[in-house]
A and B are shown apart, each in its own frame.
Chain A
Amino acid sequence: MALDFSTEQQKLTVVLSGDMRRYDDQTRIAEVMSAAARVKEICFEAAGLKDWDSTTAALIYRLITREIKPKTKVVTASLPEDLQRLLALASAVDRKPAQPTMNKECFLEKLGGWGLAVGGGIKKALAFMKEAVASLVRFFCGRAVMRRVDFEFALEDCGYKAIGIVSLVSFMVGLILAFVGALQLKMFGAQIYIASLVTIGMIRIMGAIMAGIIIAGRTGAAYAATIGTMQVNEEVDALKTFGFSVSDFLVLPRLLSLMITMPFLTMLADIMGMIGGAFVAVLILDISAPLYWQYSVSAFGLNNFLVGIFHGFVYGLIIAGCGCYYGVNCGRNADSVGVATTRAVVASIVIMIVVTGLLTLIFEALGI
């Protein structure tokens, strides 16, 4: 294969010969391109060209479209007929769409755009919340259009199917809490207070947080992915065109099921955490089981328990809200479903933590 060239009186002759398939000599190509930029006429000689492929066409196409000066005369008559046809097809202007306009924004424009996007996002979130509340009101008034089977499916999915994972993780958290506490309390000979530490920790907040994080990753993500995929498949559009409320049809069953199951899952997490703590205390730290039970019961306050259950209920609202919000507002491609799922989980956890902080301050102020 060979790519030769000669320049004579503002005329560049490019000679293609031999087998030019898979031609990729960038040094030689750069020399030809450099020579092409300085002449007024380019003539291709291809009498000795035996074979060619897309690399040959790409090389010539680049030369005649990007490297030469405007009004440079190009003579391609010597090129094989099929190669000429291909180049003509690539250079056809009648089918060329309008050139895209690529926006290059300055910093201030980007900042403004970001501000507008945040504002738009808040507006959308408020509208979503308003719709969700309206759906709940319609449901309690018996006017919501919700399929019972959807509700039962959602209830099943975030109900007994979540028991295994919530139990395991909460048990391990109780166990870790007891171990970490034991290390410190042992210095004062106060290991027995592990029972109080684990009981108060789990029932007041840790049980609810653990259940919330697990359900956000498991169920909230599934909500976003399911509704997001429906958005991609235009199923959400179909619902809208039927005149159904998307909120009633898709959000309400999920919201109700998490509102119902999260307090129970929180209770389960509390119990499993306490069992985990007891496991460490009785089997490893040699604290007697009746004594551990006695201290656990004395530490167990109804206030703490109800605060934990309330947290669980609020987390249920947050998880269902985030999962459904990101699903309903998902884009129209496969990538968007992934983005919606990730955002649903991250937003659920962040909002849960922020709300926990606020609730802690409120309960503190109320003396609960």
Chain B
Amino acid sequence: MKTDKVKIKGENLTVAYGDNVVLRRVNFEVEKGDIFIIMGGSGCGKSSLLKVLTGLKEPAAGKVLIDGVDFYAADTAEQKKIMRNGGILYQSGALFSSMTLAENIALPLQQYTDYSAAMIKDLVALKLALVGLRGYEDFYPAEISGGMKKRAGLARAMALDPDILYFDEPSAGLDPVSAKLLDDLILEINQSLGTTIVVITHELSSIFAIGKNAIYLDSESKTVSAYGNPHELLKNPPNRNVLSFLTGGRE
């Protein structure tokens, strides 16, 4: 893998909460334009790793390199710039409940760009249409369903045309049809905008449908125990835990 193609690199990452180490010496690389899956069973440290990648939790040891820049060694201005280039879709959508969907999406545009009000309105309309929520500008999060909240959260995550989109359990709490629609949306965004996508999930259907590359975090060894294309990993599983996970415990 050539360095100039690498968008995100985790180098010997160790994550701990006090004395409780949840991840040890995690190494991986995410290529530009990749759809990268971080998978593993419950409690394996997936969400902790996402926090580290998105700048919410400093690792106990190791580096996170975004476009070659060591995030946690960079100054605050550089860190903010990197964070602006990454959009995150949280499990619940994490929309601001006191704002309409349009206001939610407009907020980062108003904060970080000097676009006119008319352009912001057009951008909000486009982003909502992209996630299939055309005409929902004036709705409050409490007035829409869980699946729609996720899509609205995705529209907000895409507001600033980020280079990287992080998804935290995108299918959690969704019916199979809505989950499939969200997976399709992730694929289409990746193909049309070339956005690098990092998905935290344990949903097998999503992993095989959208994942180009993946790492498997093992809760016993607390590190990466498999690295590669999910279909390849299923064909040649490096260990029993990975095989068991990828077959849903059937083998």
Please count the residue pairs between chain A and chain B whose beta carbons lie under 8 angstroms apart in the complex: 80
The contact size tier of chain B is 20 to 34
- Taking the closest CB of chain A, its distance from the CB of B139, in whole angstroms, is 6
| Cβ contact within 8 Å between A85 and B98 | no
Contacts of B181 in A (CB 8 A): 95
Contact indicator per residue, chain A 71-103, by CB within 8 Å of chain B (1) or not (0): 000000000001101100111100111011010
List residues 226-251 of chain A with CB under 8 A from any CB of chain B. none
| Cβ contact within 8 Å between B130 and A86 | yes
Contact indicator per residue, chain B 158-195, by CB within 8 Å of chain A (1) or not (0): 10010000000000000000000100010011011110
Q: Which of B134, B139, B181 has the most CB of A within 10 A?
A: B134
CA distance A4 to B90 in the complex (A): 41
| Cβ contact within 8 Å between B133 and A333 | no
Contacts of A62 in B (CB 8 A): 122, 125-126
**Stretch from A53-61, A116-124, A134-142, A259-267 that touches the partner:** A53-61
| Cβ contact within 8 Å between B122 and A58 | yes
- Taking the closest CB of chain B, its distance from the CB of A30, in whole angstroms, is 9
Chain A's interface: helix, strand, loop or mixed, by majority?
A: helix
| Cβ contact within 8 Å between B141 and A333 | yes
B236 within 8 Å of A (CB atoms):
no
> Known: A89-B188, A100-B136. Contact between A55 and B129, CB under 8 A?
no
> Known: A58-B123, A62-B125, A335-B98. Contact between A82 and B194, CB under 8 A?
yes
CA distance A62 to B127 in the complex (A): 12
**Stretch from B35-43, B64-72, B111-119, B222-230 that touches the partner:** B111-119
CA distance A157 to B209 in the complex (A): 53
| Cβ contact within 8 Å between A85 and B125 | no
| Cβ contact within 8 Å between A55 and B191 | no
CA distance A61 to B191 in the complex (A): 19
B97 within 8 Å of A (CB atoms):
yes
Q: Which of A54, A85, A334 contacts B188 (CB 8 A)?
A: A85
B16 within 8 Å of A (CB atoms):
no
Q: List 18 A-B contacts (CB under 8 A).
A: A22-B115, A24-B115, A26-B119, A54-B127, A54-B161, A55-B122, A58-B125, A82-B191, A86-B193, A89-B185, A91-B129, A95-B181, A96-B134, A97-B132, A97-B148, A99-B135, A100-B136, A100-B139
The 5 A-B pairs with the shortest beta carbon distances in the complex, nearest first, are A95-B132, A90-B129, A85-B192, A333-B97, A58-B122
Give residues in B with beta carbon < 8 Å to A: 97-98, 113, 115-116, 118-119, 122-123, 125-127, 129-130, 132-136, 138-139, 141-142, 148, 158, 161, 181, 185, 188-189, 191-194
Give residues in A with beta carbon < 8 Å to B: 22, 24, 26, 29, 53-55, 57-59, 61-62, 65-66, 82-83, 85-86, 89-92, 95-97, 99-100, 102, 331-336
